[in-house]
Amino acid sequence: MQTNEPTSNQEQTNTPPAAEVPASQKPVTSKPIVSWLLVSLVVLLIGTTGVFAYKYFRLKRQIDNKQPVPSVPPTKVTTTGPSPAPSPLPTADPTTNWKTYSNSRFGYSFKYPETWEPNRGPGNISDEELSSQRDVDFYDPSLPGEDPGTGFTVKVNELNATGASKDCSSLEDCFTKTFSWLDKGIITDKQNVSFLGEQAITFTYQRKTALYSQTWKYLYFLHKNNAYNIHISTESSREGVIFDIFDMILSTFKYSN
C-alpha cells in the first residue's frame, strides 16, 4: 500500500507569497538633503549681498553729506635776503629833566643834574653874571661836608700863575703848558680822542691823602682859538658813577655859534 506523501514542490506551492512593501514606506534617499543645502546657500548669499549693499549706500550717503573742501593754491615761495633786524626800542634820555647852563661869552651850553647847583662864589653872583664867567663850577650839595666833593668844572683859556693867558700854538703845546703842574706818574688812561669834530685829549688823575682819595677825569681841546679844560672830580670810591655822569654831561655839550 502506497502512502501518498506530499512532495516538496507541493510544499513550496502552498507557501504564501511575500508581502509587498507600500511605496510610502520606501527608504528616504539623499536628494532632499542636497536641496536644503542649496536653499541655505542661496539664503546666505542673499543675506551677505544685502549687508554689503547696506554698507555701500550708507558710506555713499556720508560722502554726499560732507561739505566740499575748497582747494588751496600752493604757497608761492619767494627767495629774499635775510630779514631786517627789528629796530631797537628807543631808550629814555636820562638828561631830560636836567638843568641847562648857557655861556653867552664863549657861546656854549650843557646840561647838568637837576639836584646840582652852580658855585656862585663868595659874592653869590646872579644868573646873568654866571653866564659870562670864564670859569664855572657845579657841585652836588647832598654830599657831607667832610667829603672832598663832587664837582664839574669848565675853564676856558686858563690863566697862568701871573694871571695871563697861556701862549701856546697847538693842542699838545697847550696841554703841556696847562698841566705842567701835574705829576705825570699819576696820570692814567691818557688818550687822543675826537670831541665835536675837534682833536682832544682825555685822562684821569688821582690824588691820595691820609684823609681821602680823590679822582679827576679831564677833557682838553681847542675850539676857535679857545682852550677848553673840562673836568669832574669825586671821591675815588664813587668814580664809576660820577664818570658816567661826566660822559652824559659831555653828550649835551654844544656850541651856540
Same domain flag for 52 and 137: no
pLDDT at 8 over 60: no
Q: Domain residues for 47?
A: 33-63
> For the segment 231-249, what is each residue's pLDDT rounded down to a tens digit?
999 988 888 999 999 999 9
Please indicate, yes or no, if residue 75 is contained in any of the structural domains. no
Same domain flag for 103 and 228: yes
Same domain flag for 159 and 55: no
Q: Do 168 and 177 meet the contact criterion of CB atoms below 8 Å apart?
A: yes
C-alpha cell at 225: 682859538
Which residue matches cell numbers 561739505? 67
Neighbouring-strand partners of residue 215: 206, 234
Please indicate, yes or no, if residue 134 is contained in any of the structural domains. yes
The CATH number linked to 222 is 3.40.1000.10
3-state secondary structure 179-237: CCCCCHHHEEEEEEEEECCEEEEEEEEEEECCCCEEEEEEEEEEECCEEEEEEEEEEHH
pLDDT at residue 216, rounded to an integer: 94
Same domain flag for 172 and 245: yes
Q: Do 109 and 101 meet the contact criterion of CB atoms below 8 Å apart?
A: yes
Same domain flag for 107 and 226: yes
The total of structural domains in the chain comes to 2
Same domain flag for 50 and 108: no
CA dist., res. 192 & res. 219, Å (int): 10
**Of 46, 63, 80, at which residue does a domain stop?**
63
> For the segment 33-58, what is each residue's pLDDT rounded down to a tens digit?
767 777 677 666 676 666 566 666 66
C-alpha cell at 163: 694871571
Same domain flag for 40 and 139: no
pLDDT at residue 29, rounded to an integer: 53
Same domain flag for 215 and 103: yes
Same domain flag for 44 and 168: no
CA dist., res. 94 & res. 253, Å (int): 15
Please indicate, yes or no, if residue 143 is contained in any of the structural domains. yes
Same domain flag for 58 and 109: no
Taking residue 116's Cβ as centre, other Cβ atoms within 10 Å add up to 19
> For the segment 60-80, what is each residue's pLDDT rounded down to a tens digit?
666 566 555 555 555 565 556
- For the entire predicted model, the pTM comes to 0.63
| Residue 157 backbone phi and psi in degrees, to 5 | 50, 60
CA dist., res. 62 & res. 66, Å (int): 7
| Residue 60 backbone phi and psi in degrees, to 5 | -65, -40
> For the segment 127-167, what is each residue's pLDDT rounded down to a tens digit?
999 999 999 999 988 876 555 578 999 999 987 666 667 78
**Of 14, 45, 63, at which residue does a domain stop?**
63
